[in-house]
Copies of this chain bind each other. A is one copy, B any other.
């Protein structure tokens, strides 16, 4: 890539970014767009433009606000998980800033004043000096072999490494405290009073599973056991429940339409009707409100029957156990209960809203086998995903398409279109695959039998990380080197070594552009929320009649850690790896993470609504992967400096060992408090006496929830065959 196209690409990205920011500034000030730009604020019942300081309506007001918002606000708006994500972004930012402060003033002059690229030995590559851009001149590639200047580069690697250790250590401590504070908060959270039990053994024939669970836990925790709730297979009940809900929505919609028609046409209005057949297109025409009301009346007793049946007959071998204190639940979740490992597996209970119910009853062997299979599939995907894509694009050539779908002939036979299609069909397959990959990985992680959504996201994020690091970073570097390598070998065999050392800095330009494109365009789109905006306005205008429907149209969703974190990790890896080879990449990395932090904070404060809270359990994963990136960087640097025929590069080997020791130390020091809840934390006092009934009810799936809270006892009794009841707390 020459300097002109590099600047062009950079400028284009920048212009797009500026335009998108201006669009955002303009659109976000219009009150009608508030549900798109301030959904989180609205959901918390606040006015987007009041009480949050002046200047909100100014175009850069959001910057000031996002910048100055304290961490407590972030936690209030987006939970600890969002705060931890911001800590991750700011940690990487700190690493890059601290590295840049030393590396840029030291390494750039050292590289710029050397002449390796103009050397006689350099010109043996067959390239003349005008081929080298400014970027390449300012990089390690321009330093001559065996030059004493390489000492500065070696020491820089040490500097970057120690800066990373320092910042990560600080951050881990900070996140640990955040987590401890959240876990010891005085709010009553249902999951802190519950544990999840799986692999319940088959009960004796005269007992239901509920009975055996009760007697088991009452015997082991006589003073602290409160109640148990056996997981049921509520597919049937849920189907009926959803049907009723659907009818209720239809009634609400129809009533809104009816009321509107009254206002618009005639005083009596026109009652909305629909057809009962397929998709409302065929069958008898009926009055929607009447028909749905009748249907609901029919379904309600059915639902009740099914509820009873589900509770009694469809008990599964998993349960949620409730304790009457946080300390008791914490202690129970960490204690081995059964002599045999495949019975009564006890873990901390996930939040009710993030439980993946169908996964709970999976047996331990089932889970282990599923995990192995999923790992194997992921392994194949990471290493061989190109094979099916190549195969598909080979099969779906234009000729084949013409044969199968003759109606395309007219389009395809246009020479211009034909050329474009032929060029882009393979890429199209790749793009479709890459777009579907996060969903595929989420699905695979879910199939492992993991009980909670947050854990699934962590697992998927890990898988995506491996994919992205291997294929984008390593894949690109190797293949770009391979191609140039082949050319060099043919022309001039002994030039291969000096060429390899040069090829890594060569890829630097590509990655520079990549990072810039990513943050300018990506962040611009993220901030301006053009797609949600358009969808919201379309839906509001043509589909939504009731308040609930409008609310559903702007429901913001959560941050999507499973794709966000690996993408950031890719940039971390790239910037770290090129930080010493081509220090010019550091400002781009700083810009990426500074903008990323700012925009993510804005979005957390105003837009996204967390769908679960894992109290920062994502952090150890981020931490480990930053260290992994650091070690890739250290290994790469050893290779690069050896290629400069500078044998002091062995001085870099201890760094790998130090990284491992650092990772191990952090793991033993901080990880236990992430994997388990320390008793010290769980024993903090509560604001109020916990309402155990409400805690219990929080875990009842909506389709089984009794109408009134008082009926909870009936719900519980329905699961049991014996009459003995737990003493109410």
Contacts and interface: CB of A to CB of B under 8 A. Distances in A.
Interface in A655-673: 668-670, 672-673
A673 B345 CA distance: 12
Interface in A216-274: 219-220, 223
Nearest to A219: B683
Interface stretch (A326-334, A469-477, A569-577): A326-334
Given A341-B668, A341-B669, A335 B336 contact: no
Given A341-B668, A341-B672, A342-B669, A336 B220 contact: no
Contact of A678 (B337, B672, B683): B337
A336 B334 contact: yes
Nearest to A343: B680
A340 interface: yes
B680 A338 contact: yes
A634 interface: no
Question: For this complex, into which size category does the number of interface residues on chain A fall?
Answer: 20 to 34
Contacts of A668: 341
Interface string A429-465: 0000000000000000000000000000000000000
A676 B683 CA distance: 23
A338 B223 contact: no
Contacts of A344: 680
Given A220-B327, A679-B220, A669 B340 contact: yes
Given A220-B327, A223-B223, A327-B220, A335 B670 contact: no
18 contacts: A220-B327, A223-B223, A331-B331, A334-B334, A335-B335, A336-B672, A336-B673, A336-B676, A336-B677, A336-B679, A337-B679, A337-B680, A339-B678, A339-B680, A341-B668, A341-B669, A341-B670, A341-B672
A339 B681 contact: yes
B338 A678 contact: yes
A527 interface: no
Nearest 8 interchain pairs by C-beta: A336-B676, A331-B335, A334-B335, A339-B678, A336-B678, A337-B679, A341-B669, A180-B339
Interface of A: 176, 180, 219-220, 223, 327, 330-332, 334-342, 344, 668-670, 672-673, 676-681, 683
Contacts of A683: 219-220
A180 B339 CA distance: 7
Dominant secondary structure at the A interface = helix
A337 B339 CA distance: 23
Nearest to A332: B331
A330 B336 CA distance: 9
A672 B668 CA distance: 20
Contacts of A332: 331
Contacts of A342: 669
Given A335-B679, A337-B679, A338-B678, 5 more contacts: A176-B339, A223-B223, A334-B335, A339-B678, A344-B680
Contacts of A180: 339
A616 to B, nearest CB: 13
A340 B327 CA distance: 18
Contacts of A220: 327, 679-680, 683
A344 B681 CA distance: 13
Contacts of A679: 220, 335-337
A344 B673 CA distance: 13
Contacts of A327: 220
Which of A335, A337, A683 has the most CB atoms of chain B within a 10 A radius of its CB? A335
A623 B414 CA distance: 73
Nearest to A671: B341
A672 to B, nearest CB: 5
Nearest to A661: B372
A412 to B, nearest CB: 51
A176 B340 CA distance: 9
A162 to B, nearest CB: 20
Nearest to A683: B220
Contact of A339 (B219, B340, B673): B673
A176 to B, nearest CB: 7
Contacts of A680: 220, 337-339, 344
Contacts of A335: 330-331, 334-335, 676, 679
A364 to B, nearest CB: 9
A344 to B, nearest CB: 8
A176 B342 CA distance: 14
A242 to B, nearest CB: 39
Contacts of A670: 341
Which of A180, A332, A673, A679 lies at the interface centre, i.e. has the most chain B CB atoms within 10 A of its CB? A679
A20 to B, nearest CB: 43
Contacts of A669: 340-342
A555 to B, nearest CB: 36
A678 B330 CA distance: 16
A249 to B, nearest CB: 47
Contacts of A219: 683
A340 B671 CA distance: 9
Nearest to A330: B335
A197 to B, nearest CB: 12
Contacts of A338: 678, 680
Nearest to A665: B368
Q: Residue among A339, A340, A678 with the most chain B CB within 10 A? A: A339
A345 to B, nearest CB: 10
Contacts of A330: 335
A728 B340 CA distance: 37
A669 B343 CA distance: 10
A341 B327 CA distance: 19
Nearest to A184: B339
A668 to B, nearest CB: 6
A677 B339 CA distance: 8
Nearest to A328: B331
Contacts of A678: 336-339
A344 B680 CA distance: 10
A395 to B, nearest CB: 36
Contacts of A673: 336, 339-341
Nearest to A183: B339
A679 to B, nearest CB: 5
A679 B222 CA distance: 12
